[in-house]
Amino acid sequence: MKLKKPSFYAILAITLVLGAVMPVPGVYIKEHGWIITALIMAMYFGIGVNMDISRVIAGAAKWREMLFAQFFLFIVSPLAASILYAVFLPYSSKEAMIGLMFVSSLATPISSGIMLTESKHGNSVLSMYNVVLSQFLGIFVTPFILSVFLKTQFEMAVSFSSIVAELALKMLLPFAIGQLCFRFREKIKRPAKACTDYSIFVILYSYVSFAVAEGYMAKLVSSLMLPGAALIIFLFLVLALGIFSTGLLGFAREDRISLLFTCTQKTIGMGIPLAVLFFPDNEEVALNTTLLIIVYYVLSMIFSIFSVDLLFKADRRVRV
């Protein structure tokens, strides 16, 4: 009998519980940086093996919708977040609020955008094109956006040249090797996908374990109250902007459903390794950012589904 693959939420819950009740192995992983490096490299190797760049070329006929999605993900979202960052900063701290900027600059997730689009009868092919393109662009664009922002706002961040070097070694190189191995993907796609799917949870486990062992988990949770409020406002703002702008541009109903899912969701697979790279010597900020990324990922799935149901059920009633 074939075992059913556990859901994202089940693995996330297990990871958090293990970090709280059995932190010692996680602390060991955290204190041996080469293990974290190996996990990040394995994850991006898996992404490279399983990412078919030719799909972007195949999607050229939908260039308007694809251009809109990437502009929304990497321009509109960071701009909206930077406004909220400025509004909330006087009442919080840069260490707490920086997670908002990390969330806003990320690409769309690989699986959930396509899955949700299919479940709501949207254009899943367009979602696939946008996911592949945003994941590819995100490797370059997201670190650039964050580096520019952190250079002006955050003294604790490492230098841009250091980030470029780390990015090239830990993300771009294994991604390129994975792309070179793409022709052999049928033989290695399962272990490569396992690296992509599960490495991120081991990294998360190590940081949660470290926070529990050091005794500042309660401090982290309390410091996330205002950034969490800003994150929820950000989610509602990008959902409203997505609904309004896709309607204004006259996109087809199926394309609008696809764009609402892909433009408003953000990947944890890229976000958590970037937090580790940007703040290698400040576990508190890295974990703070990681928790906000996870919270946004879960909430964006819930509220994007609700928005699509509300919008297009009303649309069907009007047409009838």
pLDDT tens by residue, 279-313: 777 777 888 888 888 889 888 888 988 888 888 77
- Rounded Cα–Cα distance for residues 132 and 142 (Å): 15
pLDDT tens by residue, 97-153: 888 999 999 988 876 777 778 778 888 888 888 888 888 888 888 888 888 787 766
pLDDT tens by residue, 164-221: 677 777 777 888 888 888 777 777 878 887 877 788 788 888 878 887 887 766 666 7
pLDDT tens by residue, 44-74: 788 778 777 776 676 667 788 889 999 999 9
- Rounded Cα–Cα distance for residues 73 and 131 (Å): 11
Asked whether residue 7 is assigned to any structural domain, the reply reads no
- Rounded Cα–Cα distance for residues 111 and 210 (Å): 29
Asked whether residue 258 is assigned to any structural domain, the reply reads yes
- For 173-219, give the DSSP string: HHHHHHHHTGGGHHHHHHHHHHHHHHHHHHHHHHHHHHHHHHT-HHH
Residue 83 above 50 pLDDT? yes
- Rounded Cα–Cα distance for residues 109 and 47 (Å): 12
Asked whether the whole model's pTM tops 0.85, one would answer no
Give the CATH number for residue 61.
1.20.1530.20
Asked whether residue 79 is assigned to any structural domain, the reply reads yes
Number of domains in the chain: 1
Q: Report helix, strand and coil shares of the chain as percent, to nearest 5.
A: 85, 0, 15
Asked whether residue 65 is assigned to any structural domain, the reply reads yes
Asked whether residue 255 is assigned to any structural domain, the reply reads yes
Are 145 and 102 in contact, with CB atoms under 8 Å apart? no
Measured CA to CA in angstroms, residue 279 lies from 48, 106, 146, 155, 290 at distances of: 25, 17, 12, 11, 11
Q: Which domain holds residue 121?
A: 22-319
Asked whether residue 1 is assigned to any structural domain, the reply reads no
